[in-house]
């Protein structure tokens, strides 16, 4: 099992983003989070090498929102 990087709750191993729904919704809102998840999942299915960059963007946008990890 992987863990959400923000609250440490367990998440599925095959999840494209290491963030649970609750935290994702809290940071980006449900619509934006779904768009991010879709993008990440599509990128992974294509074996897209840009995924690392997408992850960086994700981290940065979290920092911009001053979201504090709880663990
Ligand atoms: Zn979480």
Distance 62 CA to ligand 1 centre (A): 12
Q: Which of 2, 6, 9, 11 is nearest to 62 (CA)?
A: 6
Distance 8 CA to ligand 1 centre (A): 6
Using the predicted structure, report yes or no on whether residue 34 has a pLDDT greater than 70: yes
Using the predicted structure, report yes or no on whether residue 11 has a pLDDT greater than 90: yes
The average pLDDT across 9-29 equals: 89
The average pLDDT across 43-65 equals: 65
Distance 11 CA to ligand 1 centre (A): 8
Distance 20 CA to ligand 1 centre (A): 4
* Number of structural domains in the chain: 1
Distance 32 CA to ligand 1 centre (A): 16
Answer yes or no: is 34 within a domain: yes
Answer yes or no: is 6 within a domain: yes
Q: How far apart are CA 67 and CA 28, in angstroms?
A: 10
pLDDT tens digits, one per residue of 35-51:
988 888 887 777 765 55
Answer yes or no: is 71 within a domain: no
Answer yes or no: is 70 within a domain: no
Using the predicted structure, report yes or no on whether residue 52 has a pLDDT greater than 60: no
């Amino acid at each position: 099992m992987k863990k959400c990087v923000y609250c440490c709750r367990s998440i599925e191993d095959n999840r494209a983003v290491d963030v649970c729904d609750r935290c994702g919704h809290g940071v980006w809102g449900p619509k934006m989070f779904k768009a991010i998840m879709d993008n990440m999942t599509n990128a992974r299915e294509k074996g897209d090498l840009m995924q690392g960059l997408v992850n960086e963007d994700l981290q940065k946008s979290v920092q911009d929102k001053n979201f504090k990890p709880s663990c």
